[in-house]
Amino acid sequence: MSILVVGSVAFDSIRTPHGTVDRCLGGAATHFALAASFFTQVRVIGVVGEDFTAQHEQVFRAHNIDTRGIEHAPGKSFHWTGEYRENLNEAQTLRTDLNVFQSFQPKIPDAYRDSEYLFLANIDPALQLQVRRQMPRVKMVCGDTMNYWITGHREKLLQTLREMDALLINDGEAKLLAGENNLVQAAKRIMQMGPKTLIVKHGEYGATAFFGKASFPAGVKNHFFRAPALPLAEVVDPTGAGDSFAGGFFGYLASQPSLTPAVFKRAMFYGGVMGSFAVERFGTERLENVTREEIDERFAMFRELSHLDVE
């Protein structure tokens, strides 16, 4: 089933201990769409400038991603400049040029209206809500957010959260949003804000899913699930790891006939798998070239990494 994703399609200039790249294709919607495309049909809503060429669009098309919702506006695309020092878990933003994103008003093409899954990537919660309200009949809405919106646009974010089925954020963001340092308590508070299910990403330590009573109509035996991350000897560029996790997670969910606890758990593993590929190269390079066979091999590796019954 189709996923509609709204978010940034951008260019990134990145410096990490492994090197630098200038203006490579990036953006949350881009990483998400590529990762999800291995599992299901993805449709993108975003805005780009005149610097976004047919060659860039071809990266999406080669993965059967529908780009009819990517608006072309006069001016330059959103451009993020950032740096990772020794601690690869944390990006230092050096510069954010919103450019055409500044006045972005998401428009949903008619051809996207029958999408059954909606992913609200990390953008202004006002825009997330605007898109969410135009898609009232989707089967599931999952979203992301970040510190900037949590502290500076809290009211609007809380309004948007009330209309999300699942929230997928990182550890520090979850604690900040809840105003609570204990993760289990933080999860409880967040699930009172709207999302029935919360997925918290712990970077190199994996991710935890919290299932509320409303997560599954038939109930769930356990209220937590922990998925591992692959210990990596080399992280070239962490940019987009979280969005790739989201793409693997939501893409797998959308590909399944029903949303059972078992499906959610496998989705968490696929999230970790796609995140682990994303960081192996700068920008979208690895996600552009990974094969479904490699994805399945790595899924098996994640299982071996964490399961007692595999020697």
Q: Which residues bind a copy of itself (CB under 8 A)?
A: 86-88, 181-185, 187-188, 202, 204-206, 208, 210, 220-222, 224-228, 230-235, 260-262, 265-266, 269, 301, 303-311
CB closer to a copy of itself, 19 vs 162: 19
CB closer to a copy of itself, 27 vs 228: 228
We find the least distance from the C-beta atom of residue 57 to a copy of itself, in angstroms, to be: 36
We find the least distance from the C-beta atom of residue 224 to a copy of itself, in angstroms, to be: 5
- 194 neighbors 141 (Cβ within 8 angstroms): no
We find the least distance from the C-beta atom of residue 259 to a copy of itself, in angstroms, to be: 13
We find the least distance from the C-beta atom of residue 168 to a copy of itself, in angstroms, to be: 17
Whole-number Å distance between alpha carbons of 34 and 30: 6
CB closer to a copy of itself, 27 vs 248: 248
Q: What is the DSSP letter of 258?
A: S
CB closer to a copy of itself, 52 vs 270: 270
Residues ≥6 apart with Cβ < 8 Å to 198: 166, 167, 168, 169, 174, 187, 190, 191, 209, 210, 212
CB closer to a copy of itself, 111 vs 262: 262
Residues ≥6 apart with Cβ < 8 Å to 296: none
We find the least distance from the C-beta atom of residue 226 to a copy of itself, in angstroms, to be: 4
The 10 Å Cβ neighbour count of residue 113 is 11
Sheet containing 166-170: give its strands across.
66-72, 42-48, 3-6, 117-120, 140-143, 166-170, 197-201, 207-211, 224-227
